[in-house]
Amino acid sequence: MKINILVIVAFSYLVVLRSLMVKQTLNYESIFNFGDSLSDTGNFLISDNVNFPAIRKPPYGETFFNRSTGRFCDGRLIIDFIAEANGLPYVTPYLQSVQTNFSVDFRKGANFAVAGATANEFNFFKERGLSVTLLTNKTLDIQLDWFKKLKPSLCKTKPECEQYFKKSLFFVGEIGGNDYNYPLLAFRSYKHAMDFVPFVINKIINVTSALIEEGAVTLVVPGNLPIGCSAILLERFSDDNRWLYDSTNQCFKPLNYIAKLHNDKLKKGLETLRQKYPHAKIIYADYYGSAMQFFNSPVKYGFTGSVLKACCGGKDGRYNAKPSVRCGGKGSTTCENPSTYANWDGIHLTEAANRHIATGLISGRFTKPSLNSLQVQ
């Protein structure tokens, strides 16, 4: 019976939305997501968008939604493709509840991610002499508090919650990328950013454990992207020393080293969590490896523009990502066909790039243990 319903759901999706959507191959019944702009489906737009007004209008959203939804992308994010793969609606931003006086039904999931969010709080940076303006103060801890506040509306008794969360997928991240972006973009050295790694990992592990203690059983914890391939950081670190660049993909090696260090420590942290919580399924998602596929072989993945240049932004600079002209701001231009670019606005990836990463996760090739080998019944 259940199988029949799934087939019908999957079939009607195919008919209505054709090949634009990812096929349903997973069967979670709700998704809870924590993170930053890589997975924010609208919270930043609702809460703090004064520091980044361009997000309110196209070209943000132009490829898929035809309007700005608050996603830092031309279209869908990785989490949107994950929702599609489960036959679920796009994950509703938690702050919609505030906007609509708590009349939103979150039983199919809630998205707590906020663009600009860091794993560590404001004082962490301040104590380290970094006087940057954070885009938002909605850290991972705040997002966890939001989840705790929402939980009583999802399930009441312990057995009821157990039953409900058994079929829920928790995404803890990507988060932490901004903990490095803030110092790096404030012209700190990469050594300085690297010193933050253990603190970022501690926070992610702490919040992941807290979620398990709240009842989460299946959690996907993504690592960092290859930030050495990020247009805005490449622009910022522009260096004439060719040996600092990877000869395969022209990405900046010291920055990718930070991402790799972060990912290695994260994987170790997750291993200790697996021992502590053997009942939980803790999945590491390799965003780095999945993205590296197209950075290493761009043409194979359709990125015939320049895979390291931003589609939307200023035309000056090597990577179309000089901070003086921001995507959607004065003097900015948008490339003709965003699907031939991996980088959207200097910082974020295009829908096309997100789709490739998501496909790698859904197929199980870049998730460990595999995301698609679940016995959800």
Ligand X SMILES: *[C@@H]1O[C@H](CO)[C@@H](O)[C@H](O)[C@H]1NC(C)=O
Interhelix angle 253-276/287-296, nearest 10 degrees: 150
Nearest CA to 255 out of 235, 226, 231 is that of 226
Cβ-Cβ contacts under 8 Å for 46 (sequence gap 6 or more): 70, 93, 95, 96, 98, 99
CB atoms under 10 Å from CB of 159, counted, come to: 9
Q: Pattern of binders to ligand X over 4-33, x per CB under 6 A? A: ------------------------------
CB of 118 to ligand X, least distance (A): 11
| 47 interacts with ligand X by CB under 6 A | no
| 199 interacts with ligand X by CB under 6 A | no
Q: Which of 30, 36, 37, 262 is catalytic?
A: 37
Look up 37 and say whether it is catalytic: yes
Q: Pattern of binders to ligand X over 97-116, x per CB under 6 A? A: ----x---------------
Look up 103 and say whether it is catalytic: no
3 state SS of 296:
helix
3 state SS of 345:
coil
CB of 135 to ligand X, least distance (A): 6
- Are 113 and 165 a contacting pair, CB within 8 Å? no
Binding residue (CB under 6 A) for ligand X from 66, 238, 248, 297: 66
3 state SS of 122:
helix
Backbone angles phi, psi at 218, to 5 degrees: -115, 115
Residues contacting ligand X: total by CB under 6 A: 13
Look up 239 and say whether it is catalytic: no
CB of 212 to ligand X, least distance (A): 8
| 136 interacts with ligand X by CB under 6 A | yes
Which positions lie near ligand X, rule CB under 6 A? 48, 64-66, 101, 122, 134, 136-137, 206, 209-210, 213
As annotated, the active-site residues are 37, 345, 348
